[in-house]
């Protein structure tokens, strides 16, 4: 008799890796509890609190007894508000039936993979990628296929073209990107769109960092480049990053009608609906004037500029055009060594780049206060100089 519990696990989760970023956060919490002073640059959430008007709408929902099950794809008013947002911000026309609200954008993405992946189906993921994409594809039985970056660390579109085959189900785009901060240009999106259309594969466009854009760059949703392309695209977004609402767990997607319907059915049989109270909070957020978050975006841009202007010359980095992360490397150290040395010698927590498919780099987040960031950059420079002198 086999009494080893691990042997009872499903094949789908045999190779599952825990989220690298969440693991690091756990380690930092343990080190802090043991009395160590750590600067945590591994965070993936804004350091601002949820605005009061959003919190107030949730309190009102509770007091008014809005605490029951809702429509599995989310309350209609919220889906209508999301349609208005898509039209206003992205020039996209969707009906509320095409929108499904979930427990965070991560959940929206998972629902998509569940809906489209059969065993052996390939999903193309550009490197560097957000840590959860390959793992989610694997859990749902699909096969993640990693695509190269070019010499500017951007999506190598020629390589993408060569990877598409009869088993390809979808490609994932994430712009602005976590972890590199890259923002796809219209020209790049058009080239990608042509390949998507020619091969009739799906395009999953993760736009959760849409508003975090710097230096005159512009966010364009690939779905807005033509009706035919829109019919193959699933746009994913959420309120976590934009409105500092990571704990509320509200994300959403817009998709061609049959896909939205099946995803709503999946949700009805699994989680029923996202939290009713959080939906009311998200409604207040999405209805609000986007200019309300402009000061926060400016603060992030100031921080980004501070980092790129103050990193030691020996440090190589990818200048972010958006999001709130930066990838950097120190000569002669691999990702794990650099991350470990920063933590042990300088008490700075980062995420090793190999978890994002970019060996040699570590990811730092600039979702920390300016004083903390200044201290962190001084320490990173100190370590870089030390290893530069050794080489
Ligand atoms: C690229 C990307 N997509 C999706 C998410 C998930 O966001 P949510 O909090 O809405 O689940 C994250 C969170 O870190 C992310 O970085």
**What range defines the domain where residue 186 resides?**
54-290
Span 282-303, average pLDDT? 92
Tell me, in angstroms, the distance from the centre of ligand 1 to residue 324's CA: 12
Same domain as 164, residue 301: no
- Closest residue by Cα to residue 168 from 190, 148, 145: 145
The pLDDT score that the predictor gives to residue 105 is: 98
CATH number for the domain that contains residue 272: 3.40.640.10
pLDDT tens figures, 221-237? 999 999 999 999 999 99
pLDDT greater than 70 at residue 68: yes
**Cα–Cα distance, 9 to 245 (Å, whole number):** 34
- Closest residue by Cα to residue 47 from 279, 244, 198, 306: 244
Residues with CB under 6 A from ligand 1: 44, 104-106, 130, 174, 178, 206, 208, 238, 240, 246, 251
pLDDT tens figures, 185-200? 999 999 999 999 999 9
Same domain as 251, residue 174: yes
List 33's β-bridge partners, or say none: none
Which of 50, 238, 271, 282 to mutate for ligand 1's pocket (most ligand atoms within 8 Å of CB)? 238
pLDDT tens figures, 125-182? 999 999 999 999 999 999 999 999 999 999 999 999 999 999 999 999 999 999 999 9
The pLDDT score that the predictor gives to residue 391 is: 64
What three-state secondary structure class fits 316? strand
Same domain as 360, residue 283: no
pLDDT greater than 80 at residue 284: yes
Of the listed ranges 2-6, 153-157, 348-352, the one predicted with least confidence: 2-6
**Cα–Cα distance, 335 to 154 (Å, whole number):** 19
**Cα–Cα distance, 294 to 76 (Å, whole number):** 28
Q: Count CB neighbours of 191 within 10 A.
A: 17
**Cα–Cα distance, 388 to 338 (Å, whole number):** 13
**What is the bridge-based pairing of β-strands 168-174 and 122-126?**
parallel
- Closest residue by Cα to residue 89 from 198, 218, 279: 218
Phi, psi of 120 (to 5 degrees): 90, -10
**Cα–Cα distance, 205 to 183 (Å, whole number):** 12
Tell me, in angstroms, the distance from the centre of ligand 1 to residue 196's CA: 24
pLDDT greater than 80 at residue 22: no
Same domain as 385, residue 262: no
Domain boundary residue, one of 274, 290, 306: 290
pLDDT greater than 80 at residue 20: no
Which of 113, 130, 246, 278 to mutate for ligand 1's pocket (most ligand atoms within 8 Å of CB)? 130
What's the sign of the alpha-carbon dihedral 173, 178, 180, 182?
positive
Peptide bond into 53 cis (omega under 30): no
**Cα–Cα distance, 318 to 353 (Å, whole number):** 12
Same domain as 312, residue 265: no
Domain boundary residue, one of 265, 290, 315: 290
Same domain as 307, residue 258: no
Same domain as 319, residue 276: no
pTM value surpassing 0.75: yes
Which ligand 1 atom sits nearest the alpha carbon of residue 109?
4
**Tokens found for residue 327:** 């990838």
What three-state secondary structure class fits 170? strand
Q: How many CA atoms, within 13 angstroms, populate the side-chain half-sphere of residue 59?
A: 6
pLDDT tens figures, 79-98? 999 999 999 999 999 999 99
> Structurally, how many domains does the chain consist of?
2
Which of 208, 365, 367 to mutate for ligand 1's pocket (most ligand atoms within 8 Å of CB)? 208
Tell me which of 4 and 369 has the higher pLDDT: 369
CATH number for the domain that contains residue 349: 3.90.1150.10
Q: Do 106 and 237 touch, CB atoms closer than 8 A?
A: no
Same domain as 251, residue 308: no
Domain boundary residue, one of 275, 290, 305: 290
Same domain as 206, residue 66: yes
**Cα–Cα distance, 67 to 340 (Å, whole number):** 45
């Amino acid at each position: 008799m086999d009494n080893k519990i691990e042997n009872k696990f499903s094949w789908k989760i045999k190779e599952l890796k825990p989220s690298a970023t969440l693991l690091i956060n756990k380690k930092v919490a343990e080190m802090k509890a043991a009395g160590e002073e750590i600067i945590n640059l591994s965070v993936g959430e804004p350091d601002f609190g949820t605005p009061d008007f959003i919190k107030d709408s949730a309190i009102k929902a509770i007091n008014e007894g809005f605490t029951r099950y809702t429509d599995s794809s989310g309350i209609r008013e919220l889906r209508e508000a999301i349609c208005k947002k898509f039209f206003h911000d992205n020039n996209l026309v969707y009906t509320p039936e095409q929108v499904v609200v979930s427990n965070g954008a991560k959940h929206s993405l998972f629902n998509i993979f569940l809906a489209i992946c059969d065993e052996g189906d390939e999903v193309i993921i550009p490197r560097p990628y957000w840590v959860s994409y390959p793992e989610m594809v694997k859990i749902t039985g699909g096969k993640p296929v990693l695509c190269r970056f070019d010499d500017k660390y951007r999506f190598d579109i020629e390589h993408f073209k060569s990877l598409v085959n009869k088993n390809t189900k979808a490609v994932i785009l994430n712009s602005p990107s976590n972890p590199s901060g890259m923002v796809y240009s219209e020209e790049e999106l058009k080239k990608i769109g042509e390949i998507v259309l020619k091969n009739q594969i799906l395009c999953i466009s993760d736009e959760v960092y849409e508003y975090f854009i710097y230096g005159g760059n512009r966010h364009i949703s690939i779905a807005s480049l033509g009706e035919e392309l829109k019919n193959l695209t699933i746009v994913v977004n959420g309120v976590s990053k934009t409105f500092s609402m990571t704990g509320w767990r509200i994300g959403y997607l817009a998709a061609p009608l049959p896909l939205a319907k099946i995803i709503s059915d999946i949700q009805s049989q699994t989680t029923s609906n996202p939290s009713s109270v959080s939906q009311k909070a998200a409604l207040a957020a999405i209805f609000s004037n986007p200019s309300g978050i402009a000061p926060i975006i400016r603060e992030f841009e100031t921080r980004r500029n501070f980092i790129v202007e103050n990193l030691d010359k020996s440090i190589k980095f990818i200048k972010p055009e958006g999001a709130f992360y930066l990838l950097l490397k120190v000569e002669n150290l691999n990702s794990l060594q650099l991350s470990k040395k920063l933590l042990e010698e300088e008490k700075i927590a980062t995420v090793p780049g190999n978890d994002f498919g970019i060996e040699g780099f570590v990811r730092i987040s600039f979702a920390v206060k300016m004083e903390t960031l200044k201290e962190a950059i001084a320490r990173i420079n100190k370590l870089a100089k030390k290893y530069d002198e050794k080489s």
